[in-house]
Amino acid sequence: MNFPPNSPSPLSRRDLLLKTGFGFGAMAASDLLAAANVSSETPLAVRQPHFPARAKRVIHLFMNGGPSQIDTFDPKPQLGKLDGQELPDSIKKTLQPTQRNRVGNIWASPFKFQKHGQSGLEISELFPKIARHADDLCVIRSMESEIANHSPGLLMMNCGHPVLPRPSIGSWALYGLGTESEDLPGYVVLIPSGMPTAQSRNWTSAFLPGVFQGTHIETNAKGGELIPHLTRDDIRAGTQRSQLALTQYFNRRHLKQHEGDERLDSRIHSMELAFRMQSAATDAFDINNEPESIRESYGDSAVGRNLLIARRLAERGVRYIQCYHGAGQPWDNHSALIPRIKDLCQESDQPIAALLEDLKLRGMLEDTLVIWGGEMGRTSTIQKGPKKIEQVGRDHHVDGFTIWMAGGGVKGGTVYGQTDDFGLGISENPVHVHDFHATVLHLLGFDHKKLTYRYSGRDFRLTDIAGQVVEDILA
């Protein structure tokens, strides 16, 4: 096509790159990217980690709101003997100040636990199908954080800091490794029914170049509506390509005059990716292409569709996939815990079990790290309020909550860390959020202390100035 007149002359190398379409990636941050061994022209190209990775990709199942570990993966039989009794003052003093006036009497889990698999891993009756994969799970029962509120807690779990704008773990993974998919985003966030608390800050790239930002997709939409405006029936592909080329030409000229505008740079990259996605995304998100038996195994539910799409993205080279359970904070069961947690577990049990089985059958589980958990856990006491058992719930708790991982280089059928008899403190092997992040990056092949980005005169990293790899859970 013909470009507008009055183009700069003579033609510089940079102008040539801009006009021929090879220079659209992250020019505003080219020096910093070069220092990190990331090409400013192809910032999403596949890069080698610091050492051989155990996991090539991550599927992060985020149970936003904070699932109760007492009722799912951390059995406390001792509480049965103390059920209904007042919590001793010596234990109350260990709680965060904001919790002390809200905790009620001890409440033993109303759900039964049973040992499963050769490992004998104890799992609640709420997850009978996940329990079949007990020997694949590495359960960490000693997670800790300082943040007992949802929005900052989500940011802490995703970005390593509760307040300041910091890049999310998915952005760090994409920055470090690039992506194997040229036609799909390298970092995708699947939300089935609306935004979680803290919204897009959960998958922000912050001061990293915008090309490393997560792309969120609302998976409750049908077919072509999953990604609005992805295709246009009223225009031919060739004409659309010409329109995009002209738009990108002006964008790049404008960027040349406004170096440092990462928002414009990100828009340039996004437009190029959107054009390439027209066929790739339509295929990746269309679960009707799956055999009926596979679709039935995941179930016809919002969570089931979410996780089936996640597997399809994983096998197409997407680096980091995060799946939220639902809008807001569905696992935040301050009241009516019994009926609500039953529903939540029923919604997610079959799809998660199907995902693990599907990955295993395809030979993908060994190099796919699957993570399950929320931003916090719940207390082992009733939260003061309603008196009827079907109306009571549990308060926030961050000093000993549970996550689990599977595949991707972790030891299956294992438990790491312990909480005390009351389930309100850590008695063995605490794992801070920074330690968790350091371990995930290690499984992806990175020394978390060396995966850095210089911003405002300081080298930042996901783990801030802390974090230790949890060596004992590595396979």
102 occurs within a structural domain: yes
Averaged pLDDT of the chain: 87
Q: 106's torsion region: left (phi>0), alpha (psi -120 to 50) or beta?
A: beta
Is 271 part of any domain? Answer: no
Answer whether residue 387 is part of any domain.
yes
Window from 78-87, 136-145, 213-222, 313-322 with minimum mean pLDDT: 213-222
State whether residue 346 is helix, strand or coil: helix
> Three-state SS for 30?
helix
Output DSSP code: residue 370: E
- Residue 425's pLDDT band, with cuts at 50, 70 and 90, is very high
457, part of any domain: yes
Percentage, residues of the chain above pLDDT 90:
70
3-state DSSP: the chain helix, strand, coil percent, rounded to 5?
Answer: 40, 15, 45
Residue 203 is assigned to a structural domain of this protein:
yes
Residue 344 covered by a domain: yes
Question: What single letter denotes the amino acid at residue 275?
Answer: F
CA distances from 399 to 99, 154, 282, 434 (A): 12, 16, 43, 14
pLDDT reading at 125 higher than 80: yes
Taking only the tens place, the pLDDT of each residue in 431-443 is 999 999 999 999 9
Is 178 within a domain? yes
230 or 186, which is more confident = 186
Phi and psi for 185 in degrees, rounded to 5? -60, 145
d(CA 234, CA 232): 5
* Residue 182: closest CA among 356, 318, 362: 318
Number of domains in the chain: 1
Q: Which amino acid is at 223?
A: G
Amino acid in the structure at residue 212: F
Query: What is the spatial distance between Cα 81 and Cα 85, in angstroms, rounded to a whole number?
Result: 9
User: What is the spatial distance between Cα 118 and Cα 104, in angstroms, rounded to a whole number?
Assistant: 38
- The residue segments making up the domain with residue 113 are 44-227+285-473
pLDDT value of residue 46: 95
- Three-class secondary structure of residue 242 per DSSP: helix
The pTM assigned to this predicted structure is 0.86
pLDDT tens, position by position, 349-363: 999 999 999 999 999
Is residue 438 in some structural domain? yes
Residues making up the chain, counted from first to last: 475
* pLDDT, position 123: 99
In which residue are the tokens 């066929």 written? 279
Query: Residue 215 is part of a domain; what is its CATH number?
Result: 3.40.720.10
Look at phi and psi of residue 408 and say left if phi exceeds 0, alpha if psi is from -120 to 50, else beta: left
